[in-house]
A and B are shown apart, each in its own frame.
Chain A
Amino acid sequence: MNEDWQSIAAVAVIIVTVVLFAIRAVKRRKKPGCGGGCGCGK
């Protein structure tokens, strides 16, 4: 992968991450609580 493609891939990964976090935040608003994600297991 050359440098240009690497730059595009890095930005794409960042955008996907932001989108996934946004979806997670919206879901959390609908269903508050740790949801087991905190590691507490509750």
Chain B
Amino acid sequence: MSTSAPDTPLIAIVGNPNSGKTTLFNLLTGLKQKVANYPGVTVEKKIGECYSQHGKKLRLIDLPGAYSLNARSPDEAVLRDVLLGRRPETPRPDRVVCVIDSANLERNLYMVSQVLELGLPTILVLNMIDVAAQREWHIDAKRLSEELGVPVVQTNAVTGAGLIELKLTLSREDLAAPQWENAALPEGVRAALEHSRDELRQTGAIHTRSSLLEPLYLLSDHDPTHYGIADSQMARIHELRGRMEADFPGWEDALVAERYRRIEELCAKVLKRPDQEIETITTKLDRILLHPVLGFVNLLLVLGLLFFLIFKVAEGPMGWIETGFGALGSWVEGLMSPGDFRDLIVNGVVPGVGGVVIFLPQILILFFFIGIMEDTGYMSRLAFIMDWAMSKVGLNGKSFLPFLSSYACAIPGVMAARTIDSPKDRLITILIAPLASCSARLPVYSLLIGVLFPAGRVSAWVQAGIMLGLYALGTFGAFFFAWVFNKCVMKGSASPMILEMPAYKMPAIRSILLHVWQRARMFLVRAGTIILGISILIWAASTYPKTQGDTSAQQMEHSFAGRAGKFIEPAIAPLGYDWKIGIGLIGSFAAREVFNSTMGVVYAVESEDDDNLAPLRDKLAGERRPGGGLVYTPLVCISLLVFYVFAMQCVSTVAIVRRETGSWKWALFQLGYMTGTAYLLSLLIFQIGSALGF
């Protein structure tokens, strides 16, 4: 078992989803936190630091939200494994802070009771105390503390109320182990678990000093990801579980019922609430926001506002970044004598990295808005509203949450599909998730919309409308394919959805800004590493082999990149694309936003120096074919936009889908159907548009 270093105690922050756990963690640690992944799973690991009242350094770990230690998802499995000290890279916490939503006391106390049974010194935080007060709920914190034998602190993580009391409690060194008695196990079940523990010890699945809780969680987790337990051991666990179920039918349900009975008893002592539910702001707002018609209209307004902000508010900072990169290029050009290295910087690195970094403000606005929707509780309403639409294509609202995550990035979206119980629904959700327009598509959309409708010629509302249309097209495409897969590929009935509706609350702006800052840092690190590397390679491919006496345009045509573009030109010409766009398509196969950096490098290398620092958008708008016609006609721009709405163009997603589905079959199927659809629709748009004279 791994334990923490004694001089810097490790404190785990645990709680149900939507209990305000992460907001509290952010409030305690501020910028002193590090985000990584738990090895083997794509679950975020957040560790931060704060200081006790006596100046002693404390390490805090924000564990994934869960409803129970009986893990049903990889997130919950991480929580359980860390608390049991099973993960070698994460020491077992010295203390636990259990954050609970005061307005959902009974449900939250379920996991608290399991955590208390672990015997670790625990602090109970009654968060969202304001929401409970709105309902006229009175929780006797002193009595609760006496009953559980742990300190209880009341907080409001949004306003920071109770934070000082929490810090004072964290500073206490005399925290005793909780007084909560372990779940009462019927004698037969206890004996069977003890027997199972011996068998599991023999196979090496658990260590020799394990408590009875470990076999209990191993045997009662129905979709477990047990860290460090081999497949052969899992087979043994399945066998033991089967035997337990045969000998003591319904033993797990009986344990759950017993636990809730004790929680009810406890609540009767500590909680006073009115006989009738008080109408809260949440119920009043939900009458509008969950209304079948008004709710949907509101959803469209919210998304319309988002895209308007993306175009209007981001305009200024994007201009500054563009000017900054232009000035940087000019400065390097003036500083160095002509040569390959200067070309590499001025025509490769600066336009390549600049072509992606320029979209940072838009991506930050997107993440800020998503943060606001999550923090206020509106995101769950969005899933509820969309449940109706999802049911039309044979899925449910539970599939919408992974789909919604995919608007930020398809990878967490595909991972989030693990929460879907039905294997059929899960697979279909994975297959359609990358059709949600992710943040990597945003730079490509913005660039092409800028070429199609330059700023100043149309209003930001029109640009926002087109962007919204592209997002809607991807969403519609996803629904259409979900319906097709349901009807033709994987037939079966839809499964019902169970979704928690958290109370509305004011967003914790500080916490959201911290999240946005983390995303900004990741985006810039990516621009400074992957995008920088790809820009260098694209420059090399566009520059070599060198030919004597050729113009820049001829040189580009003879380069490796030019040859690759020319090679695929016959296949993409019917879509209206020339060989240079072909280079962009090949380059962006790894990641969509690379299209911008590739085009930035290609046009910078090709230009005869006089306009190589002009914005990429202007270069694209002025690009002409050998015959004199514009390359980026409105029809070509639309064809290209539609291509990027539907094409996979993301190697990381292909790899994750392969891992999540367990075979290449579905990953390649997805790559094929998305690329095929993108090609076919772009072809139809260009050919029909051309025939109609556009």
- A residues bordering B, Cβ < 8 Å? 1-3, 5-7, 9-11, 13-14, 17-18, 20-21, 28, 31-42
Contacts and interface: CB of A to CB of B under 8 A. Distances in A.
Contacts of B36: 36
A14 B526 contact: no
A1 B339 contact: yes
Given A3-B339, A34-B409, A42-B42, 13 more contacts: A9-B341, A11-B340, A14-B537, A33-B41, A34-B652, A35-B37, A36-B36, A37-B652, A39-B439, A39-B523, A42-B43, A42-B44, A42-B411
B572 to A, nearest CB: 26
A2 B338 CA distance: 8
Given A6-B339, A9-B340, A10-B341, A37 B533 contact: no
B337 A36 contact: no
B490 interface: no
Given A3-B338, A32-B655, A39 B537 contact: no
B536 A13 contact: yes
Interface in B513-537: 518-519, 522-523, 525-526, 529-530, 533, 536-537
A26 B228 CA distance: 23
Contacts of A32: 655, 659
Contacts of A7: 339-341
Interface of B: 35-37, 39, 41-44, 336-344, 408-409, 411-412, 415, 439-440, 518-519, 522-523, 525-526, 529-530, 533, 536-537, 540, 591, 652, 655-656, 659
Contacts of A42: 37, 42-44, 409, 411-412, 415
A39 B39 CA distance: 18
B176 to A, nearest CB: 37
A1 B44 CA distance: 46
Contacts of A13: 341, 344, 536
Contacts of A35: 37
A33 B37 contact: yes
Contacts of A1: 336-337, 339, 341
Contacts of B526: 37-39
Contacts of A6: 336-337, 339-342
A3 B338 CA distance: 7
Nearest to B438: A40
With a 10 A CB-CB cut-off, give which of A11, A14, A38, A39 has the most chain B CB atoms: A39
Contacts of B44: 41-42
B343 A39 contact: no
A36 B537 contact: no
Contacts, number: 100
Given A1-B341, A2-B339, A6-B339, A41 B537 contact: no
Contact of B411 (A3, A10, A20, A34): A34
Contacts of B522: 36-37, 39, 41
Contacts of A9: 340-341
Contacts of A2: 337, 339
B536 A17 contact: yes
B26 to A, nearest CB: 14
Contacts of B338: 3
A37 B227 CA distance: 23
A37 B528 CA distance: 11
Contacts of A21: 533, 537
Contact of A37 (B336, B519, B530, B656): B530
Nearest to B336: A1
Contacts of A33: 37, 41-42, 655-656, 659
Contacts of A40: 408-409, 411-412
Contacts of B659: 32-33
Nearest to A14: B540
B411 A38 contact: yes
A11 B42 CA distance: 37
Contacts of A28: 655
A31 B42 CA distance: 11
Contact of B519 (A5, A18, A34, A41): A41
10 contacts: A1-B336, A6-B339, A14-B540, A17-B536, A33-B655, A34-B411, A40-B408, A40-B409, A40-B411, A42-B411
B458 to A, nearest CB: 29
B533 A17 contact: yes
Contacts of A5: 339, 341
With a 10 A CB-CB cut-off, give which of A3, A21, A38 has the most chain B CB atoms: A38
Contacts of B336: 1, 6
Contacts of A37: 522, 525-526, 529-530, 652
- Report, nearest first, the 9 A-B pairs whose CB atoms are least far apart: A6-B339, A40-B409, A10-B340, A6-B341, A42-B412, A9-B341, A3-B339, A34-B411, A14-B540
A41 to B, nearest CB: 6
Contact of B440 (A10, A20, A39, A41): A39
A11 B502 CA distance: 57
A20 B530 CA distance: 10
A20 B42 contact: no
Nearest to B45: A36
A35 B415 CA distance: 13
Contacts of B440: 39
A19 B536 CA distance: 13
Contacts of B530: 37
Given A1-B339, A17-B536, A42-B415, A34 B42 contact: yes
A28 B656 CA distance: 12
With a 10 A CB-CB cut-off, give which of B37, B341, B518, B656 has the most chain A CB atoms: B341
Contacts of B337: 1-3, 6
Contacts of B341: 1, 5-7, 9-10, 13
Contacts of B412: 40-42
B409 A39 contact: yes
